Amino acid sequence: MSDEKPPVEICKGVNDLDKVVLRGLRGSSAEVYLYGCHVTSWKNNHDEELLFLSSKAIFKPPKAIRGGIPICFPQFGSHGNLEQHGFVRNRFWSIDSSPPPPTVSCNKAFVDLIFKPSEEDLKIWPYSYEFRLRITIGPGGDLMLTSRIKNTDGRPFSFTFAYRTYFSISDISEVRIEGLETLDYLDNLKSRERFTEQCDAITFESEVDRIYLETPTKIAILDHEKKQTFVLRKDGLPDAVVWNPWEKKAKSMMDFGDDEYKHMLCVEAAAIEKAITLKPGEEWKARMYLSVVPSCYRSGQLAPLRVLQG
């Protein structure tokens, strides 16, 4: 009896919440909770964790899980009359019984989850829709999230959206982001005032909370100490949010350790500046593709640039 584990396994997680474990071919894996359709773990072929999950994360409604990849819909942030970041991140999703046809080859492990608003949700946001999310782990360990939102209502509706990925990093003072240089951004620390990025790479020495506008489809997060680069590719998501709460804000969050800001960085594929509007019957699709590559960085030689141009 081989003790090989199945590529897709539904099991119990923290607080007995249902989760799905996806296993790649060479040891990589990912875990998704049905609560919030929340990816809480992504590990490489050496079983090393690539996503940050707070040691104080709360796995209990109505709190969203602190870390991993929370999904923001139908509202990003507090700009609108809904709760911060919308509500699908603190709702229970279900396994999709009629998923879209699999476009993925057989050597990929994937799961399809679906969310449809309840009567209670319709009182908060009065539109009907079907939100399908496919999470796939590739043979090489890449992680892909594909969202399909279909307007099943008789009226058009508009929304904003984000995959709020918390990357696990060695030390916040040792990382830099490439691909956002010269872009305009809205600074959430300055009532969304608009600025232009002057630096040729983004580094961190204080709280950062910015929405970069109309970014390239590829962004690199270089971790010198770990000698690795996260490559974030995105389709249908023009913006990118960069967030690190730093010391003071970290202390104000009860589900976040005081020093944990040193080991996480949020880089979020998003559609914020221009809300997405869907007419009745229309479907919107957005994809985020995460991979991690070894990177050697010697001063003056932006080896990882090859990653962005590759």
Q: Which residues bind ligand TA6 (CB under 6 A)?
A: 64, 77, 84-85, 164, 188, 209, 241, 243, 266, 268
Rg (CA), the chain: 19
Residue closest to ligand TA6 when measured from CB atoms: 243
- Residue closer to ligand TA6 (CB basis): 69 or 307: 69
Count the alpha carbons within 13 Å of 227 in the hemisphere toward its beta carbon: 3
At 122, which helix (H) or strand (E)? helix 119-124
C-alpha 119 chain-centroid distance: 27
Q: How far is the CB of 255 from ligand TA6 (least distance, A)?
A: 8
> CA 268 to CA 257: how far, in whole Å?
21
- Residue closer to ligand TA6 (CB basis): 109 or 221: 221
Q: How far is the CB of 38 from ligand TA6 (least distance, A)?
A: 12
Q: How far is the CB of 244 from ligand TA6 (least distance, A)?
A: 9
Q: How far is the CB of 152 from ligand TA6 (least distance, A)?
A: 28
User: Does residue 263 contact residue 171 with C-beta atoms inside 8 Å?
Assistant: yes
User: Does residue 223 contact residue 201 with C-beta atoms inside 8 Å?
Assistant: no
- Residue closer to ligand TA6 (CB basis): 111 or 211: 211
- Residue closer to ligand TA6 (CB basis): 241 or 286: 241
C-alpha 32 chain-centroid distance: 12
> CA 173 to CA 170: how far, in whole Å?
9
Q: How far is the CB of 128 from ligand TA6 (least distance, A)?
A: 25
Q: How far is the CB of 268 from ligand TA6 (least distance, A)?
A: 6
Tokens of 86: 């919308």
- Residue closer to ligand TA6 (CB basis): 54 or 295: 54
- Residue closer to ligand TA6 (CB basis): 22 or 177: 177
Q: How far is the CB of 205 from ligand TA6 (least distance, A)?
A: 18
Report in angstroms the alpha-carbon separations of 113 from 37, 99, 205, 208, 276: 7, 8, 38, 32, 21
- Residue closer to ligand TA6 (CB basis): 84 or 217: 84
Report in angstroms the alpha-carbon separations of 121 from 38, 83, 251, 273: 19, 12, 32, 24
